Amino acid sequence: MSCMEIVLKYGKGQMSAQIPPENLVGFVRAREVPVVPDELEAVKKALAEPIGSPPLREIIRQKKAKSAVVVVNDITRPTPYHVYLPALEEELKEVDEVTFMVATGLHRGHTEEENLAIFGDFPRRYRFINHDADGDLVYLGRLPHGSPLYVNRRVVEADLVVTTGVVVPHYMAGFAGGRKSILPGVAGRETIQGNHSMLVRPESAPGRLEGNPIHQEMLEAARRAGVDFILNAVTNEDKKIVAVVAGDLEEAWRQGVEVCRKVYTVPVAEQVDVVIAGVGGYPKDINLYQAQKGLENAAAAVKPGGTIILVAECPEGHGDEVFNEWMLAANSLQDIIDRIGVKFVMGGHKAYAIARVLKEKDCILVSNMDDGMVRDYFFTPAADLEEALAKVRAKYGPNYSALVMPEASATMAVLA
């Protein structure tokens, strides 16, 4: 019987391989739902009919807002700014001073070239500023779980705060979007570290909001920071918009979450020997730090002792110096797990998230990273998908069961 071809996004291109159909149980894909017929009109409609909030223009008039900060995502989170920004510009006409704050959290800041690539000509006409987690911050008291809340001063002191984003599953906050624009987006380092330290709790899980302490703190932080209005979308695997929500910080975002659940939560009948997980290409596979999200989601569908093939180009390598130091300093995966219990450090949290998966499952990493470094990170290197599948055959023989997750960073496999 002829083999089936698997094609996965890899950086800005793609990678393919052949697999016998008898090994392939199926694909874990986001549900196909209709995309909006006109993305700009969908955004304008959401702004005109906000959820749980007056329209943005009315808020501007009520507050007599002269200054506004619009919080925008960084390069690691593909967001439809080609339609967000023209629509928001119309709404913000009565505001004298509009600043765009790039919600870097603890990621690196954007270059001018990256801003132009992401936001079109808007950086030529408006001020775009990278958030600095160690920069000019305002203290807003302690959060429910004890962390001090520091937020970017420009955000706190603006007359109007609008946040933008996309709603996708998130490996520890339940879902991204909404309140995440503030924490971690424009929060201080100590605040982010305190919040993310709770990822060791079982309630901090993909798709979970109820009782999730990370989500609870993020929401409280956004309330205290004074978010006036949000604009979020749910996109499909091709980054096309399927729904737009705008309005109240929590109410509008929750509606986006419900759409996201329907699109990205995929039941699987049982765990398999092998999951072939594509991270989703650039920028989701820009580095290993980001690609970890695909590893987390794939793990749920793999038997204990099974194998994950993670396809992520990682042109920027590891992506974080602290993460790199934790991985290289460890003699075993247990070292990392023990270390996070002694002292939580941002960057170390990604090492921990990887270690808890690799303790139970093997992972073959298909990337352009150096083989030695990949092994130092407790992965098995493979130059391409064909080589990875050859390693699978060497482990299992011809009889293994496999699922393919083309967009593992966003898709949640849930045991039926």
Domain edges within the chain:
4-30+269-415, 39-263
Residues in the chain, total: 416
Confidence of residue 2 (pLDDT cuts 50, 70, 90): confident
What pLDDT band is residue 215 in, cutting at 50, 70 and 90? Answer: very high
Catalytic residue selected from 107, 196, 318, 349 = 107
For the chain, what is the mean pLDDT? 95
For the chain, what percent of residues have pLDDT higher than 90?
90
Which superfamily, per CATH, for 4-30+269-415?
A: LarA, C-terminal domain (3.90.226.30)
Alpha-carbon distance 191 to 118, whole Å? Answer: 27
pTM for this one?
0.85
pLDDT in tens, 292-348: 999 999 999 999 999 999 999 999 999 999 999 999 999 999 999 999 988 888 889
Structure tokens at 115: 């801003």
Please name which of 401, 200, 171 lies closest in space to residue 302, comparing C-alpha atoms: 401
77 falls in which pLDDT band (50, 70, 90)? confident
CB atoms within 10 A of CB 361: 18
Q: Which of these is catalytic: 131, 170, 318, 349?
A: 170
Q: In 3D, which of 153, 411, 177, 197 has the Cα closest to residue 294?
A: 411
The two tokens of residue 378 are 């407790």
For residue 1, the model assigns a pLDDT of 55
What is the pLDDT at residue 61?
97
Cα–Cα distance between 363 and 355 in angstroms, integer?
11
Mean pLDDT for 164-173 is 94
> What is residue 129's predicted lDDT score, i.e. its pLDDT?
97
* Angle of the 333-342 helix axis to the 321-329 helix axis, nearest 10: 120
If residue 304 lies in a helix (H) or strand (E), which one and from where to where?
strand 302-311
Tell me what pLDDT residue 238 has: 87
Q: Report the range of poorest mean pLDDT among 67-71, 104-108, 177-181.
A: 104-108
Identity at 372, one-letter amino acid code: G
- Architecture of the domain delimited by 39-263: 3-Layer(aba) Sandwich (3.40)
Residue 170 known to be catalytic: yes
Residue 237 scores a pLDDT above 90: no
Average pLDDT estimate for 2-29: 95
CA distance 35 to 274: 31
Least confident of 40-44, 115-119, 188-192, 345-349: 345-349
Residue with tokens 């302490």: 213
- Whether residue 5 contacts residue 16, with contact meaning beta carbons closer than 8 Å, is answered with yes
Fill in the DSSP letter of residue 313: -
